[in-house]
Amino acid sequence: MGAVEPAGDSIRVAPAEYGTVDDVVRGLIGVPLVREWLRDVEPQPLSSVALGAPLQRFNRDILCTGWNYVDHFYESAGKREGQDPDALPAHPTFFTKGPDTVIGPYDPIAYDAELSRQWDYEAELAIVIGRDGRSIPAERAHQHVFGYLVANDVSQRDLQRAHGGQWLKGKSIDATMPLGPWITTADEIPDPAGLRITCEVNGVVLQAATVGQMAFDIPRLIEELSRGMTLRAGDVLLTGTPSGIGNAREPQVFLSDGDQVVTRVSKLGSLRNQVSRTRLTS
């Protein structure tokens, strides 16, 4: 566990016996106490530390939101291989992906061409729940947000279409979702609507949008997802990807071995991952 300095180039690392970020998110260790512990710890260059995914323990699958940017919804119209809804849904579209997808901010993204030929990038803002709640009203949703991260919901489009219209399989391939590079606590981001999301592949910007372009904002997502369903401290919710995905482009752009993917959210940091050939099938 550690705390990145505001400039983003150094970190104060706590001794292992102090606990983990997962403990802090779940309220087992208070943020003020961590800050007090680290006050006298000498900062060291961030480059000297190997960053893993900030969260290592998951209560359940990663919670996700589909079609949450209007431009993204319409760019894929007619390209979903018979799975197109008639119109933009009136409520958020939720799905999950397995926690074994999670990798660190600089880890390789697993790639197996025998498993899929359509590996797509999806830059996203992720939120971490910091307080249990059920049927949370939108006006109190902020009380349940611990902080924010950057994610890339790398998806296999052919698998996504091949299993009865359910997205789980095409979203749950092991070691394919970079998450991080750290958690920025909610008090540091009073208005996430202004955050800018971008995704670059091999130096070319393919996605660019602001969080304010979401069809359903974060309070609405939390309100609807938690209706009758308890959200737990430590749950991770991806909030959707903007337009520019590879599957919707003409010609289509899919990831392949050796590609460099950079996912950024302003004020939250960057993920830098190389697509790397990995044997996922036998």
**pLDDT tens sequence across 137-152:** 999 999 999 999 999 9
Its pTM surpasses 0.85: yes
How far is residue 244's CA from residue 177's CA, in Å, rounded to a whole number? 18
How far is residue 90's CA from residue 215's CA, in Å, rounded to a whole number? 10
Report the percent of the chain where pLDDT is more than 70: 96
Angstrom CA distances, 208 to 49, 149, 252, stand at 29, 17, 17
Helix (H, G, I), strand (E, B) or coil at 104: coil
- pLDDT at residue 76 greater than cutoff 90: no
- pLDDT at residue 191 greater than cutoff 90: yes
Report the percent of the chain where pLDDT is more than 90: 81
Do 196 and 123 touch, CB atoms closer than 8 A?
no
How many CB atoms sit inside 10 A of residue 88's CB? Answer: 11
Contacts for 40 with CB less than 8 Å, ≥ 6 apart: none
Domain 51-277 has CATH 3.40.50.410: no
**pLDDT tens sequence across 259-277:** 999 999 999 999 999 999 9
| pLDDT on residue 166 | 84
- Residue 250 DSSP code: S
Q: In the chain, what are the domain boundaries? A: 1-49, 51-277
How far is residue 116's CA from residue 40's CA, in Å, rounded to a whole number? 50
Do 12 and 5 touch, CB atoms closer than 8 A?
yes
Angstrom CA distances, 4 to 11, 21, 32, 139, 269, stand at 4, 13, 15, 30, 11
| pLDDT on residue 85 | 64
Indicate the average pLDDT of the chain.
93
Do 11 and 21 touch, CB atoms closer than 8 A?
no
| pLDDT on residue 71 | 87
Beta bridge partners of residue 178, listed in sequence order: 103
Banded model confidence at residue 251, pLDDT cuts 50, 70, 90? very high
Helix (H, G, I), strand (E, B) or coil at 44: strand
Residue among 21, 39, 16 at smallest CA distance from 180: 21
Rounded mean pLDDT, 75-102? 80
How far is residue 127's CA from residue 63's CA, in Å, rounded to a whole number? 10
